C-alpha cells in the first residue's frame, strides 16, 4: 500500500468536502488495510464505522442460507458503502457481505460522528444522499436483470458491467464465481460462455476471460 496520509486521501478523492469537514475526518477517521479475499463486512455484524474506499476494489454481495453468493455491486476509490452508513447510523447489524477482490484500503469513520456530520456539514449530507441514490440505481439494474431478462442476457450484461466497473477487458473470473454471482449453475454458465465465444463476444483463456465488446 502507498504511504499516503488520511488528509491526502481526502483531498484527492473527496475534493467536494468543505475544509472543516476534511479537518474533522482527518482527526477522527482511521485507515485500515484488507488483503485480497478478506472480508470487510459480514452478515449479522454490528457496524461501528462507516467505510469510504480509498484504494482497491470491494465487492458487495448477499449470501444465501446455502452459502451461495449473489453479487450486488463494487465499491472503488472515492466510493462509500451506503449500507454501512445506514447500519452505523441506526446501530443495526449488516444484511450483506463485503470482501476485497484485491488489496484494499478503507477509511473508517466512527459511528459517533455520523449525527454531527449529517447535521453540521452540507457537503457530507449531499455526499450521503448521492451515495444512496447511486446504490439504489445499481440495485434496480440488478433487479431488472433478474426479473426481466433470460440468463444469456443477464450473463452478457454482467460481463459488460464487470469490464466497465473494473476498467479492464481481462476479467479474472472463474465459471464458478460467475455462476455464484448470477445465482445459477456452473454448467449453465460454461455453456453460455462457449456460445458467446463462438459469437465473437468474448475469448476464454486459462486464467481469464477477455471481453471483446465495448464496456
pLDDT over threshold 60, residue 2: no
Q: What is the mean pLDDT of residues 76-101?
A: 78
pLDDT over threshold 60, residue 29: yes
pLDDT over threshold 90, residue 136: no
| Distances from the Cα of 29 to the Cα of 32, 57, 114, angstroms | 10, 20, 12
- What superfamily in CATH does domain 6-146 come from? Jelly Rolls (2.60.120.10)
Q: What is the mean pLDDT of residues 148-163?
A: 87
pLDDT value of residue 167 = 84
Question: Using CB atoms within 10 A of its CB, is residue 183 exposed (0-12), middle (13-18) or buried (19+)?
Answer: middle
pLDDT value of residue 3 = 59
Nearest CA-CA partner of 130 in 30, 14, 5: 14
pLDDT value of residue 127 = 94
User: What proportion of the chain, given as a percentage, has pLDDT over 70?
Assistant: 91
- For domain 150-211, which CATH number applies: 1.10.10.10, 3.30.530.20, 3.90.76.10, 3.40.50.10440? 1.10.10.10
Q: Coil, strand or helix: which one is 30?
A: strand
pLDDT winner (highest mean) among 16-20, 141-145, 164-168, 169-173: 16-20
Positions of CATH 1.10.10.10 in the chain: 150-211
Positions of CATH 2.60.120.10 in the chain: 6-146
Could you give the angle at the alpha carbon of 165 between the alpha carbons of 63 and 89, nearest 5°?
55
pTM of structure: 0.73
User: What proportion of the chain, given as a percentage, has pLDDT over 90?
Assistant: 46
Higher pLDDT, 118 or 142: 118
pLDDT over threshold 60, residue 13: yes
Q: What is the mean pLDDT of residues 86-94?
A: 65
Alpha-carbon span 120 to 128, nearest angstrom: 13
pLDDT value of residue 89 = 61
Amino acid at each position: 500500500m502507498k504511504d499516503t496520509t488520511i488528509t491526502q486521501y481526502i483531498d484527492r478523492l473527496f475534493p467536494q468536502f468543505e475544509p472543516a469537514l476534511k479537518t474533522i475526518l482527518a482527526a477522527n477517521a482511521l485507515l485500515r488495510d484488507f488483503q485480497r479475499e478478506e472480508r470487510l463486512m459480514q452478515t449479522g455484524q454490528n457496524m461501528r464505522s462507516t467505510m469510504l474506499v480509498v484504494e482497491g476494489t470491494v465487492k458487495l454481495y448477499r449470501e444465501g442460507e446455502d452459502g451461495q453468493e449473489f453479487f450486488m455491486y463494487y465499491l472503488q476509490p472515492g466510493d462509500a458503502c451506503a449500507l454501512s452508513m445506514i447500519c452505523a447510523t441506526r446501530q443495526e447489524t449488516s444484511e450483506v457481505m463485503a470482501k476485497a477482490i484485491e488489496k484494499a484500503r478503507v477509511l473508517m469513520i466512527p459511528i459517533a460522528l455520523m449525527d454531527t456530520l449529517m447535521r453540521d456539514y452540507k457537503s457530507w449530507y449531499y455526499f450521503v444522499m448521492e451515495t444512496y441514490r447511486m446504490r439504489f440505481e445499481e440495485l434496480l439494474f440488478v433487479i431488472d436483470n433478474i426479473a426481466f431478462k433470460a440468463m444469456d442476457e443477464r450473463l452478457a450484461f454482467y460481463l459488460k458491467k464487470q469490464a466497465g466497473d473494473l476498467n479492464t477487458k481481462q476479467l479474472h473470473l472463474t465459471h464458478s464465481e460467475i455462476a455464484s454471482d448470477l445465482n445459477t449453475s456452473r454448467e449453465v454458465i460454461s455453456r453460455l460462455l462457449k456460445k458467446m465465444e463462438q459469437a465473437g463476444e468474448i475469448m476464454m483463456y486459462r486464467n481469464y476471460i477477455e471481453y471483446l465488446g465495448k464496456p
